[in-house]
Amino acid sequence: MEMTKHKAWQLGRGILALLLAVMLEGAVVAHNGFRAGEFAAISAFMLLVLACIYVSIWKHWDFEIVGWVLLGLVFIGLTMA
């Protein structure tokens, strides 16, 4: 099965989103120290972000931008902390 450019682009965005979410979650936990409540909250937020991105990639909605904006807000908040 040959991968088209569109499928490769979708796969690339999905992998990039997963890597950024894991790295940002680790950075937030490392910055604030590990607490179970905070870890659960940031994990739930990152799952929400990834759900926005992945469902949008799969269903071709325009809701993907919301996930990327939320991921960007976590990055901006982490840099300002």
Q: Please give the tally of structural domains in the chain.
A: 1
Alpha-carbon distance of 73 to 64, in angstroms, equals 14
Domain assignment present for residue 48? The answer is yes
Domain assignment present for residue 74? The answer is yes
Domain assignment present for residue 4? The answer is no
Domain assignment present for residue 7? The answer is no
pLDDT tens for the chain, 81 residues: list them.
677 988 888 899 999 999 999 999 999 999 888 888 889 999 999 999 999 999 998 887 788 899 999 999 999 988 887
| SS3 at position 25 | helix
The pTM (predicted TM-score) of the whole model is 0.83
Alpha-carbon distance of 71 to 81, in angstroms, equals 16
Domain assignment present for residue 39? The answer is yes
Contact indicator for 38, 32 with CB cutoff of 8 Å: yes
Domain assignment present for residue 59? The answer is yes
Domain assignment present for residue 27? The answer is yes
- Nearest CA among 80, 28, 33, 32 for reference residue 49: 28
Domain assignment present for residue 1? The answer is no
Determine the structural domain holding residue 40 and report its residue range: 15-80
